Amino acid sequence: MSRNTLLNTNEIGIFALGGLGEVGKNTYVYEIEDKIFIVDAGIMFPDNTLLGIDYVIPDYDYLVKNEERIVGLFITHGHEDHIGGIPYLLKQVKIPVIYASGIAVDLIANKLTEHENLKVPKIVSYKAHHIFTFGKTEISFIRLNHSIPDMFGIDFKTPYGHIFHTGDFKVDYTPVGPQAEFDKLSKIGSEGVLCLLSDSTNALVPGTTPSERVIGESITDIFSNLKGRIIIATFASNMYRMQQIVTASYLNDRKVAVIGRSMEKAMQIGMETGYIKAPKDTIVTPDEINSYPANEVTILSTGSQGEPMAALSRIASNTHRQIKVQPNDTVIFSSSPIPGNQEGVNRIIDLLYRKGVEVIVNGPVADTHTSGHGAQQDLMLMLALTKPKFFIPMHGEHRMLKKHKELAVNLGVKKENILIMDNGDVAALTKDSIRLAGTIKAGDVYIDGLGIGSTGTTLLKERKELSEDGVLAVVLSTKEDGSLITTPTIVSRGFIYMKGNEEMITMIQNKVQDSYFNHLPKNYPTEKLKSSIESDLSSYIYDLTQRRPMLVSIIMNV
């Protein structure tokens, strides 16, 4: 078996293919005794600059080249930024076993059925008390709290000490589900945590993160004061919140209709597995909504982030097939906008207000949401309990990682024992030292409707140019002798409005015609003739408009 040449014989390697310097596509790799342990395989959702992209996944090149050393994929919990990349990983890399727990097992199994011709490895469902041994390394699990059930930190017990990977967590003393196993954290802390890798998402947020139970009580209270229909949007992945909404509904004698494909799927899996419980006949179909008085209906919807195609967006723009807003409706956002999504959320809120709908968002007046990630006091408690010798902040943008480092230093971790890393940076660890050993290939791979990597940076650049400056096509119909049958035809998409710009169109037609007859005597091949016309036209249009639309020229010999 080949080994990582960046590491010395006695060193443990730790690096991320995704999740450092960003929030999303969490994929971490631990190399212990030449064995590769992968923790999580997530996706990242595209921002507004990634036009036409469905998902972003890590570059799995290193795993492809070293697949014979992989012993398994270990999943902390069932959120998309931790399991969404699994089908794409399996298409490229042979994974012997996937280890997951509780609801994550069902979510992964459901996800894998959506992909054809996938060689699915054995999925082992682990429990909190399970221990798996690989050579001199023992892997065990510590239950923590998050916004989805069955969130576990992963502990690697090595001859050098414990390496603990928290996954996503918050400190919740009154959780909706089982309590976190703080005793286990203290135990590994007393035995000696060599290195801690801890969630940094809310490292910039002072204080503590409110309990999920407080939000459930608040939602129930809000429901009791509303008279019309309630349309409430949240993350489809937040199963605890979905249960709270169902509970608040039946306590207030309301039926619940679920709309949005991802929400419907999450509700189905939640009820089948017992994570969401509802009295008989509480859940109704969207078609049954109109059979009940407005004050007896709750509509649980996708679209809490202002996504254009989500159910709430279609309701707000009056294009949803089944749901039309009514004046006495109240829309509740049981979420906070992810950075970059605020504009889309504001657009939806404005549309709803225009329709006379009351809107409630999370804030000082109404507690409708709490984060699943620990704030500064929570992160400090994790550091205090585990008492790590070395520390690598993970899961967060660079500024979050740096703030998390500050918190650790304040708690006594030596500054030189903390590494702030980017994806691809390899940390080399012994019982006495930590160092940056170098980098391996780690980048973004784009997925759209055509598949993995079908869209590259060049295509994205073209899409960006099209979105900003549009496209202009010119069609020249020619005879055998090269003369033009008619004036060149101009077609504009996203560049200029044809109607009302007749004078500019005529000027462009004349320029195309002049350029054509100027280059025709040179007996250029057709492609060279077209590129010469486009070059002349590009300069001319820029002088006219200060814009550079994508130019397409077509020469038809009739």
* DSSP per residue, 475-534: EEEE-TTS-BSSSPEEEEESS--STT-HHHHHHHHHHHHHHHHHHGGGT--HHHHHHHHH
Could you report the per-residue pLDDT of 206-236, keeping only the tens digit for each?
999 999 999 999 999 999 999 999 999 998 8
Candidate list 168, 199, 425, 469, residue with the active-site label: 199
Determine what percent of the chain is predicted with pLDDT higher than 70.
93
Could you report the per-residue pLDDT of 356-415, keeping only the tens digit for each?
899 998 877 677 888 999 999 999 999 999 999 999 999 999 999 999 999 999 999 999
Mean pLDDT of the chain: 91
470 confidence band (pLDDT: 50, 70, 90): confident
Question: For domain 12-207+371-452, which architecture applies?
Answer: 4-Layer Sandwich (3.60)
199 catalytic? Reply is: yes
Between 310 and 223, whose confidence is greater? 223
Q: For residue 557, what pLDDT is reported?
A: 85
Pairing of strands 12-18, 425-429: antiparallel
Q: For residue 362, what pLDDT is reported?
A: 83
Mean pLDDT value across residues 121-146: 97
What DSSP letter does each residue of 163-193 carry, written as one string?
Answer: EEE--S-B--SS-SSSPP-HHHHHHHHHH-E
Q: What tokens were used for 452?
A: 């993995």
User: What does the alpha-carbon distance between residue 43 and residue 89 come to, in Å, rounded to a whole number?
Assistant: 11
Measure the N-to-C terminal CA separation of the chain; round to a whole number of Å.
65
User: What does the alpha-carbon distance between residue 331 and residue 340 come to, in Å, rounded to a whole number?
Assistant: 21
| Best CATH choice for the domain 470-557 from the list 1.10.10.10, 3.30.930.10, 3.10.20.580, 3.30.1330.10 | 3.10.20.580
Residues 6+ apart with CB under 8 A from 452: 57, 88, 91, 92, 445
DSSP collapsed to 3 states, 77-121: CCCHHHHCCHHHHHCCCCCCEEEECCHHHHHHHHHHCCCCCCCCC
3-state secondary structure of 214: helix
Mean pLDDT value across residues 434-450: 86
pTM: 0.82
Q: For residue 339, what pLDDT is reported?
A: 64
Candidate list 373, 395, 404, 519, residue with the active-site label: 373
Mean pLDDT value across residues 165-190: 96
Backbone phi and psi for residue 248, each to the nearest 5 degrees, phi listed first: -60, -35
Question: Is it the case that residue 448 has pLDDT exceeding 60?
Answer: yes
Residue extents of the structural domains in the chain: 12-207+371-452, 212-360, 470-557
The overall longest dimension of the chain from CA atoms, in Å, is: 91
Mean pLDDT value across residues 527-539: 92
User: What does the alpha-carbon distance between residue 281 and residue 403 come to, in Å, rounded to a whole number?
Assistant: 49
459 confidence band (pLDDT: 50, 70, 90): low
Instruction: Show the CA angle centred on residue 415, arms to residues 410 and 418, nearest 5°.
Output: 105
Question: Is it the case that residue 451 has pLDDT exceeding 70?
Answer: no
Pairing of strands 35-39, 70-74: parallel
Q: For residue 365, what pLDDT is reported?
A: 64
Could you report the per-residue pLDDT of 48-89, keeping only the tens digit for each?
555 556 788 999 999 999 999 999 999 999 999 999 999 999
Question: For domain 212-360, which architecture applies?
Answer: 3-Layer(aba) Sandwich (3.40)
- Torsion, Cα 382 388 391 392, to 10 degrees, reads -60
What DSSP letter does each residue of 289-354 carry, written as one string?
Answer: GGGS-GGGEEEEES-TT--TTSHHHHHHTT--SS----TT-EEEE-S-PPTT-HHHHHHHHHHHHH
Determine what percent of the chain is predicted with pLDDT higher than 90.
70
Q: What tokens were used for 156?
A: 């690697």
Between 459 and 164, whose confidence is greater? 164
Residues 6+ apart with CB under 8 A from 481: none
Question: Is it the case that residue 479 has pLDDT exceeding 80?
Answer: yes
